Amino acid sequence: MSDARFIRRWHFSASHRYGRADWSTERNRSVFGAQMDIHEHDWMLEVHTVGPIDPDTGFSVALSAVDRIVGDMTEGWDGGDLNVLIPEVASGSLVPTTESLARWAYMHLESRISPPARLVRVALFESPTVGSQYPAEESP
């Protein structure tokens, strides 16, 4: 039996800003420009899992489990500041670009999806026209 892909999307509004604590204000402004200032986006987070369809439930992964796992990760994000809410961003070890945040979310969620389903992609959009997915290509 072939696997099915399950896709779940969440929407939230949150602010962020780019910058590195180990760089001067001038260097940050030169690299990140206006994105160095705090600004808000209407984000969309998309999680893709793949797994066999359970003949008893019809699910490849339990929606309630995915919602709980992602809800735990994103608690407080709606209306919040990602620079404060994500520990790696707050500590300065991660610049909150869509690429970095998509990878961070993937790494955070990957081990929390119950087999036989597996996480294959996280996509994060900060607007309808700007987003990233991690990994860039899926493994078989």
pLDDT of residue 138: 64
Instruction: Name the 3-class secondary structure at 85.
Output: helix
Q: Which of 29, 37, 16, 20 is nearest to 83 (CA)?
A: 16
Claim: this prediction has a pTM higher than 0.95? no
Q: What is the pLDDT of residues 80-134, one digit of tens each?
A: 999 999 999 999 999 999 999 999 999 999 999 999 999 999 999 999 999 999 9
- pLDDT by residue (tens digit) across 12-31? 999 999 999 999 999 999 99
pLDDT digits over 64-84, tens only? 999 999 999 999 999 999 999
Q: In this structure, what are the phi and psi dihedrals at residue 81, rounded to the nearest 5 degrees?
A: -115, 110
Candidates 117, 119, 116, 96; CA nearest to 46 is 119
Cα separation, 50 vs 54, in Å, equals 12
